[in-house]
Structure 1
């Protein structure tokens, strides 16, 4: 996902993320989220953690990293049927917390408000399937090309592309973005899918292939509901999310993926540029869990091994 003032698109070849083990979470029923969420159970004590001294003093003293996240994006972050917040990001954050001796506390918010939350210091970081792009690093509005903030730094921890999905058995010949001309697509507002849809709509109009209608929602689950009810021809979201919906919605009977992934790019933990010490601490912690094997266990648990990274990188997005 990405905030509305920044574009998630980044050049890169498609990278297919395995979906088999996503079914492990398939039996979980998805629910809506409130304004606040309970934090994960992870973290440790600073005095026992190997990388605690790398943290800024105020965070080390508090023992908490406040995380802004749009917790309605399974399997990356979402609530299970018991109301517990779970997902790839939660597990990665818990593992990082053990290295740093802090607790990652996730606070729920709509995605297009997360960068504002960083600027206002409501959050220490944002972690929400957030794609690392140059525009976001530089605080640039991709549509207007204007400066909207100081930008953020990213600690990249995963790679994912974007997929299109339809109602099962109703693909209407859709395989690529150009096949959406004359049709209606549903997306989450401000995401790379939204950006791609808007760009394709301009191409459709220019080429005289029919209007591409776009309906954007606050979260991906709302978009899925619209498609499921027959209110659109297709939906688009990050591949892990689309694959999870295909596996779980209606017991796997509601949707199907069409075509290949596009726009493979890194997910990153967003950190204010004013806090390089926290950025470097997170990078060191990510490298540590990659080295000790805990990262691979998390990625395998969720069945997304092909999206794994082999080392932490700062600002690797294009």
Structure 2
């Protein structure tokens, strides 16, 4: 990620119910049900590994921490911008995969529910949370005081009720260019007079705007900023030569540089800046769910599943030792 610590900046962005398992079943069926209790495929389409979507697992160690309404449904609805590899994205088969879905699956085992990812543009996720379309937003969203307080980072005005965050990962922001064509860009200050592409509503966009103001204040040309609904659209623009640089959270920028064009399209320039926590956003009035999510993340960290997920996706450098509530600044 580039300028700020997570793609998800001050604005907020986006992406059936299942029946509970019947209590009275024969002993053999109970054993089978317990085997099928793991969370499975964390996508819109359903559960994998044989898990019945929405099934509540009575043996899940932290199930009693959830609000009863969610235990009854067996589902936590997750708003997510599912186009931000490797944090969350669709694989070749159309399945939602990545860091967040893997961590959600691990937490689901602790809570006895399925985390159901629903796709939306990033800047609409918090709105969807407020309207109760989602129970949580989990989408590489940076925990900031402005988001906690419902403040628009650009205008400084109150735009709605804030949210609480359960912080679970640290990430900085990176700048990247076409490979072999950095146009002298090594730091954010080098972007004066140049064009950068970013995802709308992210920290990268906020940083670009702040840096552009510094350029103007210093009697230099402003930065031209082109913002897109998804990070993939920004990448396509840069790849086609329509900009001088792009910016995203470091894990995303690093993954893009490694995979786009077999590693031949882009290069990261300079160091990542403004490391800050990714947070799972929860409505202010839903403290029981917030605390259950924190307990589940702490359990996943303690049992080693957290480490395995981060190592799988090559982002172990962003690991934390415990989940925190509203740790962003």
Distance of 1:215 and 1:159 partners within structure 2: 26
Structure 2: segments with no counterpart, 5+ residues:
1-6, 14-42
The answer on whether the counterparts of 1:63 and 1:101 sit within 8 Å (CA) in structure 2 is yes
Q: Describe the superposition over 1:204-253 as per-residue Cα deviations: whole angstroms up to 9, x where unpaired.
A: 12212223111100000000000000000000000000001100000000
Q: List per-residue Cα deviations over 1:186-216 (Å, max 9, x = no partner).
A: 0001101100111111111221222311110
Q: CA RMSD in A?
A: 1.6
SS in structure 2 at match of 1:269? strand
TM-score, length-scaled by structure 2: 0.85
Aligned residue in 1 for 2:157: 146
- Residue 5 of structure 1: how far off its partner (Å): 3.4
Aligned to 2:208: 197
**Displacement of 1:37 after TM fit?**
3.7
Aligned to 2:11: 5
1:179 lines up with 2:185 in the alignment: no
Does residue 54 in structure 1 map to residue 51 in structure 2?
Answer: no
Q: Name the counterpart of 1:157.
A: 168
Question: Is the counterpart of residue 38 in structure 1 residue 45 in structure 2?
Answer: yes
Secondary structure of the residue aligned to 2:85 is coil
Check the 8 A contact 2:179/2:266 in 1, yes or no: yes
- Deviating above 6 A after TM superposition, structure 1's stretches of 4 or more consecutive aligned residues are none
Deviation string for 1:157-186 (max 9, x for gaps)? 101000000000001111100100111000
- Corresponding residue of 1:74: 85
1:268 aligned residue = 279
* Contact residue 159 and residue 307 of structure 1 kept, 8 A: yes
- Could you tell me how far apart the structure 1 residues matched to 2:202 and 2:9 are? 7
Tell me the CA shift for residue 39 of structure 1.
5.0
CA distance in 1, matches of 2:135, 2:222: 42
Partner of residue 27, structure 1: none
Given the two structures, how large is their TM-score scaled by the length of structure 1?
A: 0.88
1:112 aligns with 2:112: no
Structure 1, gaps ≥5 residues long: 8-35
Q: Distance in 1 between matches of 2:163 and 2:252?
A: 24
Match runs of 1:233-248 below 5 Å: 233-248=244-259
CA displacement at 1:40 relative to structure 2: 5.8
Q: Is the 8 A contact 1:70 1:111 kept in 2?
A: yes
How far is the alpha carbon of 1:2 from its aligned partner? 2.7
Alignment of 1:258 onto 2:269: yes
Distance 1:275 1:114 in 2: 16
1:65 alignment partner in structure 2: 76
